[in-house]
Amino acid sequence: MKILLDTHTLLWFIEGDDQLSQNAKKLIENSDNEVFVSFISFFEISIKLKIGKLHLTKTLKEIYQDTLTAGIEIMSLEFEHIENYQSVPLFPEHRDPFDRILIATALHEELSIITIDEKFENYKNIVDIIW
């Protein structure tokens, strides 16, 4: 299975947060799965830290290093991901550009997304959502 982690999923996994579902944790830890996080997630984390919307027990650099140590592949943002953004439906109740680029990335790369974010349910007919 090829999996893309939503930003909160990555953070909860790296920080050992109990909010992460057991199913999600098992999928991430299963060495048979290819687990990815988009580089854009680190940009999102940085922005949210700067504006005070996010507080972590680790620094951004520690999160990055722990991601690599956990064997999670960091996927670069590619032109094809941005181009595919145009094919992601726009819903009035879900305009978050970070979520939408993750969905576009998952579509292009044929990845399932692990997220608890209920707004992702709007896209379940175009991308596999797991929790």
Q: What is the CATH number of the domain that holds 39?
A: 3.40.50.1010
CA 87/CA 60 separation, integer angstroms:
31
Residue 93 predicted with pLDDT over 90? no
Per-residue model confidence (pLDDT) at position 59: 94
Domain count, the chain: 1
Average pLDDT over every residue of 111-127:
93
Q: Beta strand 34-38 with 73-75: parallel, antiparallel or unpaired?
A: parallel
Average pLDDT over every residue of 45-59:
94
Per-residue model confidence (pLDDT) at position 23: 97
Residue 90 predicted with pLDDT over 90? no
Q: Domain range for residue 94?
A: 2-130
Per-residue model confidence (pLDDT) at position 18: 94
